[in-house]
Amino acid sequence: MDLRSLSCKSCIVVIFLLLLVNDVRAYIPTKRFNVEAFGAVGNGRTDSSKAFLYAFTRACQFNGYSILLVPKGTFLVGPVVFKGPCRGPIDFQLRGIMRAPAGAVGMDHWISFRYIDRLMIYGGGILDGRGETAWHYNDCSRNSNCQSLPVSLRLDFVTNSVVRGITSLNSKNFHMNIMGCTNLRMERLHIIAPAESPNTDGVHLGYSEHIRISDSIIATGDDCISLGPGSKNIEVLGVTCGPGHGISIGSLGKYQNELDVSGIKVRNCVLDGTDNGLRIKTWATSLKSKVHDITFEDVIMNNVYNPIFIDQQYCPGGNCDNSKASSVQIQDVMFRRIRGTSKSQAAVNLRCSRLYPCKNIKLADINLSYKGPANTTCLNVQASAWGLQKPDLGACI
Ligand SMILES: *[C@@H]1O[C@H](CO)[C@@H](O)[C@H](O)[C@H]1NC(C)=O
Ligand SMILES: *[C@@H]1O[C@H](CO)[C@@H](O)[C@H](O)[C@H]1NC(C)=O
């Protein structure tokens, strides 16, 4: 047998297999659906909602791999729901700008994708939520009949999907809300709103599993990333936050039957001038649930108000019954290699529940400096610490 021909045959097989694994999509019929072909006009003024919905419906029904293209231009759209299930994988290639209608629109979403498997959103384009035309409607702290403002991008029950390399600008409410999703990668995102804009959280997620948020820049008026009830196996890597309120787990304990939060890893992140750094927040008057298996590591703080913060008496509005103790059990949380500068004296602040004290909190190689002596507060915590401990963690262990 000729050895050379054998190895060549096997190399062809290997190359073929590699191609197949790398790009399954290349082997199924592909069709491009340009929203302009369906009547969308990229002049910034013509309402193109119908054209987008029509193009999406056609793309979704295509029995193959479809690419919904938003070309260069500014398209006034929404609110819209792109609803699956679709017949094949679908790309939403955003090259241009999608522009939201001005003002409050009486909906919880601007752009919503629901029940879609294998969705890819990418293309370097911009979602301009035009929050500046609506933030003044956000008076919920004073007005119980307040209008809720739309989230810019909602993904509900989306699976095996990617959101990559797009910009979200000035959302009216949260920039992105992820609900009921599984196996999602969100990467190279740029999320921007002014520091004083209300509730413009970068990415909020809940009731979702196997989500990775990476290599992104998030500058907003509220939480950079917040992980609500039912967040499970979530990775946050290489994210720079600030301004804003930092990376949060919670708030938790407010509603009936909240699912636990577990398997959260936050790594290689930078918090720049944020109000909080790494925070777990639960309401004092709260229902029972659990937060466990959380790792925060290799995080840099630049002038952060509360770098390490567990707050089981979370009370943003200021009128909570804090004589109550939270029923959310926090346990198995690691803070490792957290360094940089604290803007307040309270560099490490672990305020746990009297009813369900925090269990197994680990602090290792903490190096946080403050212009004066920084301090540590620990209430109802069972913690251990090793390596560098700056500030002194004696109060916690
Ligand atoms: C702690 O951080 C400061 C700068 O913030 C640095 O100069 C110092 O070397 C660090 N200490 C250790 C032991 O790593
Ligand atoms: C720690 O610092 C905070 C904020 O300055 C202060 O309110 C608190 O009394 C200090 N605690 C201790 C134990 O020194």
Cβ contact 197:227 at 8 Å: no
62-81 residue pLDDT tens: 999 999 999 999 999 999 99
Which pLDDT band, with edges at 50, 70 and 90, does 11 fall under?
Answer: low
Residue 367 CA, closest ligand 1 atom number: 1
345-383 residue pLDDT tens: 999 999 999 999 999 999 999 999 999 888 899 999 999
Does the beta carbon of 339 lie inside 6 Å of ligand 1? Answer: yes
Which pLDDT band, with edges at 50, 70 and 90, does 8 fall under?
Answer: low
Residue 395 CA, closest ligand 2 atom number: 13
Q: Judge residue 6's burial from the number of C-beta atoms within 10 Å of its C-beta, 0-12 exposed, 13-18 middle, 19 or more buried.
A: exposed
Tokens of 367: 């190096």
Q: What is the mean pLDDT of residues 217-246?
A: 98
> What is the pLDDT at residue 373?
82
Comparison of pLDDT for 375 and 291, the residue scoring more: 291
Q: What is the mean pLDDT of residues 219-223?
A: 97
Distance of CA 352 from the midpoint of ligand 1 (Å): 29
Tokens of 363: 């602090």
Catalytic residue annotation: 245
241-263 residue pLDDT tens: 999 999 999 999 998 889 999 99
Comparison of pLDDT for 298 and 284, the residue scoring more: 298
Peptide bond before residue 198 is cis, with ω within 30 degrees of 0: no
> What is the pLDDT at residue 324?
87
Distance of CA 224 from the midpoint of ligand 1 (Å): 26
Give the mutation target among 306, 343, 370, 375 for probing the ligand 2 site: most ligand atoms within 8 A of CB: 375
Distance of CA 25 from the midpoint of ligand 1 (Å): 49
Does the beta carbon of 388 lie inside 6 Å of ligand 1? Answer: yes
> What is the pLDDT at residue 144?
74
Q: Which CATH architecture has domain 70-396?
A: 3 Solenoid (2.160)
Q: What is the spatial distance between Cα 306 and Cα 274, in angstroms, rounded to a whole number?
A: 8
Q: What is the mean pLDDT of residues 209-217?
A: 98
Give the range among 39-43, 44-48, 145-149 with minimum mean pLDDT: 145-149
List, in sequence order, every residue forming a beta bridge with 161; answer none if it has no partner: 184
Q: What is the spatial distance between Cα 159 and Cα 161, in angstroms, rounded to a whole number?
A: 5
Residue 390 CA, closest ligand 1 atom number: 1
Distance of CA 367 from the midpoint of ligand 1 (Å): 6
> What is the pLDDT at residue 301?
98
Q: What is the spatial distance between Cα 298 and Cα 284, in angstroms, rounded to a whole number?
A: 30
The SS3 call for residue 7 is helix
Give the mutation target among 350, 351, 377, 379 for probing the ligand 2 site: most ligand atoms within 8 A of CB: 377
Q: What is the pTM of this model?
A: 0.91
138-164 residue pLDDT tens: 887 777 777 789 999 999 999 999 999
Looking at the chain, the whole-number percentage of residues with pLDDT higher than 90 is 83
Take atom 14 of ligand 2 and give the residue whose Cα is closest: 375
pLDDT value at 17 more than 60: no
Beta strands in 315-357 (DSSP E): 328-342, 346-351
pLDDT value at 326 more than 60: yes
Q: What is the mean pLDDT of residues 5-29?
A: 59
> What is the pLDDT at residue 15?
57
Q: What is the mean pLDDT of residues 223-250?
A: 98
Closest ligand to C-alpha of residue 368 is 1
Take atom 4 of ligand 1 and give the residue whose Cα is closest: 340
Does the beta carbon of 303 lie inside 6 Å of ligand 1? Answer: no
Closest ligand to C-alpha of residue 351 is 2
Tokens of 58: 């056609």
Q: What is the mean pLDDT of residues 308-324?
A: 87
Instruction: Report domain extents, the chain.
Output: 70-396
> What is the pLDDT at residue 265?
98
Cβ contact 253:221 at 8 Å: no
Distance of CA 364 from the midpoint of ligand 1 (Å): 14
Q: What is the mean pLDDT of residues 215-237?
A: 98
> What is the pLDDT at residue 189?
98
> What is the pLDDT at residue 285?
83
pLDDT value at 3 more than 50: no
> What is the pLDDT at residue 2?
47
Cβ contact 188:146 at 8 Å: no
Distance of CA 76 from the midpoint of ligand 1 (Å): 50
pLDDT value at 188 more than 60: yes
Take atom 10 of ligand 1 and give the residue whose Cα is closest: 367
Does the beta carbon of 155 lie inside 6 Å of ligand 2? Answer: no
Contact partners, residue 275, CB within 8 Å, separation at least 6: 244, 245, 246, 304, 305, 306
Q: What is the mean pLDDT of residues 41-58?
A: 98
Take atom 9 of ligand 1 and give the residue whose Cα is closest: 367
Does the beta carbon of 375 lie inside 6 Å of ligand 2? Answer: yes
Closest CA to 276 of 319, 324, 332, 314: 314
Does the beta carbon of 345 lie inside 6 Å of ligand 2? Answer: yes
Residue 341 CA, closest ligand 1 atom number: 5
> What is the pLDDT at residue 1?
43
The SS3 call for residue 305 is coil
Cα-atom radius of gyration of the chain, to the nearest Å?
23
Give the range among 16-20, 34-38, 317-321 with minimum mean pLDDT: 16-20
Tell me the CA distances in angstroms from 43 to 74, 77, 93, 100, 297, one per residue in order.
6, 11, 18, 13, 46
> What is the pLDDT at residue 191?
98
Q: What is the mean pLDDT of residues 286-309?
A: 96
> What is the pLDDT at residue 115?
98
Take atom 5 of ligand 2 and give the residue whose Cα is closest: 345
Neighbours of 331 (CB within 10 A): 18
Q: What is the mean pLDDT of residues 282-289?
A: 90
Tell me the CA distances in angstroms from 248 to 36, 203, 340, one per residue in order.
40, 11, 19
Give the mutation target among 306, 308, 345 for probing the ligand 2 site: most ligand atoms within 8 A of CB: 345
The SS3 call for residue 234 is strand
Distance of CA 371 from the midpoint of ligand 2 (Å): 14
Does the beta carbon of 369 lie inside 6 Å of ligand 1? Answer: yes
Distance of CA 356 from the midpoint of ligand 2 (Å): 24
